[in-house]
Chain A
Amino acid sequence: MNDVLDQRAAARPGGRGTGRGFGRVLVTVYGILAFAAVGRSSYELATKFSEAPVAYSLSTFSALVYVVATLALAKGRGAWRTVAWVAVTIEAVGVVTVGALSLASPDVFGETTVWSGFGQGYGYVPLVLPFVGLWWLWRRRGDADHADHADPAAPAATAPTTED
């Protein structure tokens, strides 16, 4: 199945960015999580930051990481590829570290965050997502500039695109 997907992606100009094919789904899930995390942290910062500054700072940090990861994966080329690697790696380390700490000593953050209990409150999506993201970036490694340079005169794609 992956071969078929690769062929199809390769057949389309610009089809190998991280925001295309399966990447569309990945960016969608990242976007939803980013929106949820930003909403949650804005609410916490606005109404009750002083109750648990560590937990709510962490919520804000994770929200920013999700926003950056979503944008970088959607762009998917050149420097954005590096940004995506960094953001997704921070996210993977963050969810595992915070998840482990929150189980080891529940009081350490004062309140729950997106990453507490390995993303339990979000159906463990925050735990699975960064590793799917790393796998996807690894699969698309080396393609970052290929699509740009191989078809400089190619039309933007066969369909209307929101990228670039």
Chain B
Amino acid sequence: MLSATRAAGAPRRPGSLGAVVVPLLILAVALCVALAGWALVFVVRDRAVILKQLFGAAAVEAVLLVQAVVAGMQLLGGHSVDGALFWGYVATALVLLPVAAAWAFAERTRWSSVVLAVAALTVGFLEWRLWQIWGAA
């Protein structure tokens, strides 16, 4: 599991893995906003979602997974949050993007780009809420 965090290039601070959770959440928000922006450009240009955007969504999903694993380890290590709320948001964020990407890709009009933008913004919002929940406890 540690190798997963190194592979993502997350900054390593000996003994304080928890310091990585918030930067990962911020990174996730930024990537979601970027993906949504990319999709919105396609909406304006009247284009459907392309494969490259699905790879982009997969990259965001990878960051979400790494963040979930790191947060889980940190919670085992003693960080306290509202567990049901936190994992509810994590699970929703993880499920949403792949399902929405498949749903969007099956539509070959500009509306598919709107679907991807909506999904990316929603995941970005969830990650931002996770950031609040993580810091609140």
Q: What are 24 A-B pairs at a CB distance below 8 A?
A: A21-B107, A21-B111, A23-B111, A24-B104, A24-B115, A25-B114, A25-B118, A27-B103, A28-B103, A29-B118, A32-B96, A32-B122, A35-B92, A35-B95, A35-B96, A36-B92, A39-B88, A43-B84, A43-B85, A47-B84, A159-B107, A159-B108, A160-B105, A160-B106
Main secondary structure of the interface of A (DSSP, over half): helix
Nearest Cβ in chain B — how far from A160, in angstroms? 6
User: CA A163 – CA B88 in complex, angstroms?
Assistant: 28
> Which residues of chain B are near A158, meaning CB under 8 Å?
108
Smallest CB separation, B43 vs chain A (Å): 10
Q: Contacts A29-B118, A32-B96 given: A162-B106 contact, CB under 8 Å?
A: yes
- Interface residues of B, Cβ cutoff 8 Å to A: 84-85, 88, 91-92, 95-96, 99-100, 102-109, 111-112, 114-115, 118-119, 122
Question: A25-B115, A32-B96 are known contacts; what are 10 more A-B pairs with Cβ within 8 Å?
Answer: A24-B107, A24-B115, A25-B111, A29-B118, A36-B92, A39-B92, A43-B85, A159-B105, A162-B106, A163-B106
The complex places the Cα of A150 from the Cα of B119 at a distance, in Å, of: 34
CA distance A157 to B88 in the complex (A): 36
The A1-60 residues at the B interface (CB cut-off 8 A) are 8, 20-25, 27-29, 31-32, 35-36, 39, 43, 47
Bitwise, A128-164 to B at CB < 8 A (1) or not (0) is: 0000000000000000000000000000011111110
Q: How far is the CB of A77 from chain B (nearest CB, A)?
A: 16
Known contacts A32-B96, A39-B88, A43-B84, A162 near B111 by CB under 8 Å: no
A43 touches B111 (CB 8 A): no
Bound together, the chains give a CA A32 to CA B126 distance in angstroms of 11
Contacts of A32 in B (CB 8 A): 96, 118-119, 122
Closest to A40 in B: B88
